[in-house]
Amino acid sequence: MRQILVIGSGKSTSYLLKYLCDHAFLENLFITVADLHTENAQSLINNNTRAQAVKLDIFDAISRFDLIKKADIVISMLPAHLHIEIAKDCLKANKHMVTASYVSPEMQALDLDVRAKNLVFLNEIGVDPGLDHMSAMQILDRLRENGSEIFAFESYAGGLIAPESDNNPWRYKFTWNPRNVVLAGQYGTAKYLKEGSYKYIHYNQLFKRVQPLNIKPYGEFEVYANRDSLQYKDLYKLDQIKTLLRGTIRRKGFCEAWHVFVTLGMTDNSYTMTGSEFLSHRDFLNAFLPYHPNKSVESKLKDVLLIDNHHHIWEKLDCLDLFSNSCYCGITNATPAQMLEKILTNSWSLEKTDKDMLVMYHKIGYKNNNKKHELHSHLIVTGEDSTYTAMAKTVGLPIAIATCAILNKKITSAGVQIPTAKSIYTPILKELQDFKIIFNENEKFY
C-alpha cells in the first residue's frame, strides 16, 4: 500500500481525510494522521481500516522523521512557520510534500535540492492560496490563447457565515484561524495598481479604504486590499496590466466597525498588558480610552467615535459583551490582540449546526479584436455544519486531489512550486466540479 502521512488534524482536515479515506481502497492507500492530540483525527477517520491516528509531538525530531521516512508523501497541515522542518525531513528522506500555505523564503531556498532529487513540493494548494491561483490561471491562460490582451485583474476571497446561520450584527463568524483574522493586514503596507497608478495603504487606513462588491443573488459585500498585489504581475504573467488588486471579502459594514479596533489599538500584538488576567471586557475596552473622572466607558467611546448608540457600529460592539463587567478573558501577560481574539472567539465561534460560506470572485478586463470585455467569475460554497465546513472543503479537497495526482504521477514537475501550471490546475479543477466547487462566469461588453 502507498503510505500518506498527514501531519496535523485541525479544523481544515475534515474533507481532506474524508476524501483520502473514501479513496483508500481504490487508490491502494494507507493514511496515517499524526497530531499531539488524536481525538479529532480518530473521529474523522471513523474506524476506517485503511487509516490510523498516531500521537506526535512535532518538536520531537526523531519521532517525526521516523514517521516521514515510512511515507510515500507527506501532507503538512501545521501552521505555516512549522512547514520548513517537515520540508527538510522530506528532502532528507526523499519524500514528496504538499502544503496549503504560501511559499516562504526558507521553503523556496530548498528548490534546487528538491529538483535534484526529483521531488514534488507542492505549496499553496488550498483555497486562498490555491483555488484562487488555479481558477484565475485557467481564465487568464484561456484568454491569452484566444489572443486577448488583459489590462485589469481583480481577485477577492473570504470565509464568511452562510445566510441561514447569519445571526449576529457583524454577519461574521470564525471559519479559519482567529489569530489570523485579528492580525490581518498588519504585516506590510497594502500595494496595488489602479489604472496605471501605484497605490499604497498603511494598516491604519486599510479598513477605511474599502470597495463595494455585489454578487447576485448573494447580496452586498465589501473588500479590502491584501498586502502585496504587485507580486502577482510576474506570477500570473500580467506584463501589460493597468489594474491589479487582490483583497479580502467581508459583508457590508464589517470593515467600518473593525476599524474601531485598529484605531483604538486593540489589535496590537507587540506588547503585553499589565494584569491582563484580571481585566473584564469593560476594563479592556476602557484601557484604550482617555481617562475621565466622571464619564462612563460608553460616554467616552461615543466621544472618540463620534457616534451614538443607534449607530450600526455600536450594535456590533455591544453584541460582543465589550461593556460587560462580568466577562473576563483570564489570559496572563496577554497582548491586546490576544485579549481581543478571546473576546471575539466567545461570540464568533461556529455552533455545531452553523454553516459557513466561502466566497471567491474574479473580475478581469481584456481587449479582443479592438473590443473591451469584462469577465466576472465567482464561486460560492456552503458548508454542511461546523465540522464539514466550506473552508475545510475548499482547503482540503484540492490538497487531497493533488496528493493522489502526485502519487499517480499525473503531477511530475519537480521542485518547490505552486499550482499555476495548466498541467496541475486542469485535472484538479475538473475533479472539484464533482464536489460542486464550480466557478460561474458572465461577461460584459463595451
Q: Is residue 416 part of a domain?
A: no
Q: Is residue 383 part of a domain?
A: yes
My answer on whether 140 and 186 are in the same domain is yes
My answer on whether 109 and 6 are in the same domain is yes
- Of 94, 123, 152, which residue sits at a domain end? 123
Full-model pTM = 0.94
My answer on whether 367 and 234 are in the same domain is yes
- Number of domain units in the chain: 3
Which residues constitute the domain of residue 288? 268-348
Low-confidence ranges of the chain (pLDDT < 50): none
The pLDDT score that the predictor gives to residue 237 is 96
- pLDDT, one tens digit per residue, over 10-45 is 989 999 999 999 999 999 999 999 999 999 999 999
97: domain CATH number is 3.40.50.720
The pLDDT score that the predictor gives to residue 310 is 87
Handedness of CA 385, 389, 390, 391 (dihedral sign): positive
Listed in sequence order, the residues at least 6 apart from 385 whose beta carbon sits closer than 8 Å to its beta carbon are 352, 353, 354, 355
My answer on whether 108 and 237 are in the same domain is no
The pLDDT score that the predictor gives to residue 36 is 95
The pLDDT score that the predictor gives to residue 185 is 93
The pLDDT score that the predictor gives to residue 176 is 82
Q: Is residue 406 part of a domain?
A: no
Q: Is residue 435 part of a domain?
A: no
Q: Is residue 9 part of a domain?
A: yes
My answer on whether 249 and 296 are in the same domain is no
- Of 105, 123, 141, which residue sits at a domain end? 123
Q: Is residue 30 part of a domain?
A: yes
Chain centroid offset of residue 167 CA: 22
